[in-house]
Amino acid sequence: MRRPEMALFVAAFAAYAYFYQAGGWNQNSRFDLVRATVEHGTASIDAYHTNTGDKARVGDHFYCDKAPGVSWMAAPAYAVARLVARPPDGDGIAQARFLAVAAHVSTAWAIGVPSAISVVALALLLGALGAGERTRLAVAAAYGLGTLAFPYSTLLYGHQVAAAFTLCAFALLVHARRIVGRAGPLLLAGAGALLGGAVVVEYPSALAAVVITAYAATFVRPLHRLGWLAAGAALPCAALALYHAVVFGGPLTLPYQFSTQKNRSRGFFMGLGVPNATVLWHVLLSPYRGLFFSSPWLALSLPGAIRMVRLRTGALRPEAITCIAIALLHLWLNASLADWQGGRAMGARYLVPCLPFVAILAAALALPGKGTSTGATRALRPAAWALAAAGALCSTFLMLAGTAVMPEVPIREPHPFGGYILPRLAKGQLAVSTQSIDSIGNSPSPGPLDARPIEHAWNLGQRVGLDGLASLAPLVAIWIACAAWLAWAVRRRARVLDQDPGMR
């Protein structure tokens, strides 16, 4: 409790668990697999498939067309919920209420917990790269609350878990290279298990896994010790191969080959093909899906990447190249997809898995090291950091607004924030989604909670009787308490280090 990282974890997890976003094609497909696994011991979602369009058809049976990792992670929480709550039989409102609460608990467990851990991992990783105490904590908080990591930590999607797993694997390897000086078998096996797990959660994570494995090869000696990395990845990958073989007929046969949406099988890997320049503009800068529009502070990653490559005569070059390569590969993937906009969303959701690596590049501007800055640029530095802080606060406000109203903005809304989210926020219309986790809904119904079916979206403030913007007050109070806790822990650590400099 005396570590600032614990305050960071609590602030992030409180935010992620505070919201329940109800259903949608993506979430319903994954939750259908959870229910099929726990309730019937099968991978077939025949009993539930009418609630989603994200499905694969093999013969006369339907299956989730997503990687199964998120569903596997959520299944234990759902099983416990069934044991504790003893769900009612039938398809009535009581059953719908149980499923909504169980889905909320399952999402908080499978998505919220690893996402909050990844925020701490980012803070520790930045410390290993040489960032100061306040810088590493501030960047980690900005990543966890001021990027799309926030809303996607409240949704039963795989993007944010993939980001968490690949980031944690990278953090372990950076710790080994820069702090310990060597990578032991357990550390390598752990990193490998995380990389394998990321692929089980989201197939495109194979791109990041290859890059991070190449990073490990730059310092692990002798090279045959990389076998420990492969050994760690073997178990989750073997489970995935067995799932593919049993359900889809071959260990390397992906469910997208049987998807009812044929665009999923285009390209030579998960839709990867020739990038489109117009799409690049949309996913980076436009109000529709622009990454730098919704999280302007991440634009610091552009000069940050250059500085990180040059810093300390190339001492951080392997880490810089790794982050740049992961970001560029995901950008390429997004720019070449037929459904590049990601359906109902408020940003470039296909870039979510690479966001922690973009945040690392942005933080590089604050890393210590010799530079060529002049007196004029040094004088402008405080103003630059004030501008960056303002950008991070703006990003956090936009992410909180989108998460509170509805992250899955209709695909035809050209201005997700200005045209949909902020007008509803101003009116106190929060948690407006009306598509439940077990059926398909259509139009939003932004009325008060007690006027809507309980199985639809909510936040915890609404569940205790607060309405409108007042329902966010408990979360803001938690954040204020965590900020005070964080400041106390940072001051305490500074005193300890001053008394014993050897601990540095």
Q: Give residue-wise pLDDT tens across range 44-89.
A: 999 999 999 999 999 999 999 999 999 999 999 999 999 998 887 7
Give residues with Cβ within 8 angstroms of 468, minimum separation 6. Answer: 428, 429, 430
User: Rounded to the nearest 5°, which phi and psi values hold at 272?
Assistant: -65, 125
Mean pLDDT over all residues of the chain? 90
For the chain, domain boundaries: 1-157+389-404+415-504, 269-368
- State mean pLDDT over 229-243: 97
> Picking from 139-153, 363-377, 426-440, 478-492, which range would have the lowest pLDDT averaged per residue?
363-377
Q: Is the CB of residue 207 less than 8 Å from the CB of residue 330?
A: yes
Specify the pTM. Answer: 0.93
Determine the pLDDT at residue 270.
Answer: 61
Give residues with Cβ within 8 angstroms of 273, minimum separation 6. Answer: 266, 267, 336
Q: Which helix (H) or strand (E) holds 208?
A: helix 205-217
User: Rounded to the nearest 5°, which phi and psi values hold at 251?
Assistant: -65, -25
pLDDT exceeds 80 at position 424: yes
Determine the pLDDT at residue 269.
Answer: 59
Give the Cα separation of 63 and 49 in Å (integer).
8
DSSP state of 474: H
Determine the pLDDT at residue 496.
Answer: 80
Confidence of residue 444 (pLDDT cuts 50, 70, 90): very low
Confidence of residue 455 (pLDDT cuts 50, 70, 90): low
Determine the pLDDT at residue 387.
Answer: 84
In total, the chain counts a number of residues equal to: 504
Give the Cα separation of 337 and 272 in Å (integer).
6
Confidence of residue 247 (pLDDT cuts 50, 70, 90): very high
Q: Is the CB of residue 255 less than 8 Å from the CB of residue 52?
A: no
Q: Is the CB of residue 215 less than 8 Å from the CB of residue 319?
A: yes
- Helices 317-336/277-284 angle, 10° precision: 110
Task: Give the sign of the dihedral formed by CA 473, CA 11, CA 6, CA 108.
Answer: positive
- State mean pLDDT over 140-160: 98
For residues 486 and 499, the model is more confident at 486
pLDDT exceeds 80 at position 377: no
Identify residue 218 by its one-letter amino acid code.
T
Determine the pLDDT at residue 382.
Answer: 74
pLDDT exceeds 90 at position 177: yes
Q: Is the CB of residue 367 less than 8 Å from the CB of residue 139?
A: no
> Picking from 23-32, 150-159, 178-187, 267-276, which range would have the lowest pLDDT averaged per residue?
267-276
**Chain centre to alpha carbon of residue 35:** 23
Give residues with Cβ within 8 angstroms of 7, minimum separation 6. Answer: 482, 483, 485, 486, 489
User: Rounded to the nearest 5°, which phi and psi values hold at 193?
Assistant: -65, -40
Ramachandran category for residue 94: left, alpha or beta (phi over 0 → left; psi -120 to 50 → alpha)? alpha
Report residue 213 as tokens: 């494995």
DSSP state of 61: E
Determine the pLDDT at residue 448.
Answer: 45
Give the Cα separation of 335 and 138 in Å (integer).
30
For the chain, what is the radius of gyration of the CA atoms?
22
Q: Is the CB of residue 367 less than 8 Å from the CB of residue 309?
A: no
For the chain, report the end-to-end CA distance as a whole number of angstroms: 20
Confidence of residue 385 (pLDDT cuts 50, 70, 90): confident
What pairing do the DSSP bridges indicate for beta strands 61-64 and 55-58? antiparallel
C-alpha dist (Å) from residue 472 to 14, 207, 345: 12, 38, 22
Q: Which pLDDT tens digit goes with each residue over 310-322?
A: 886 678 899 999 9
Report residue 339 as tokens: 């459904």
- State mean pLDDT over 216-243: 96
C-alpha dist (Å) from residue 21 to 112, 185, 320, 382: 13, 40, 35, 39
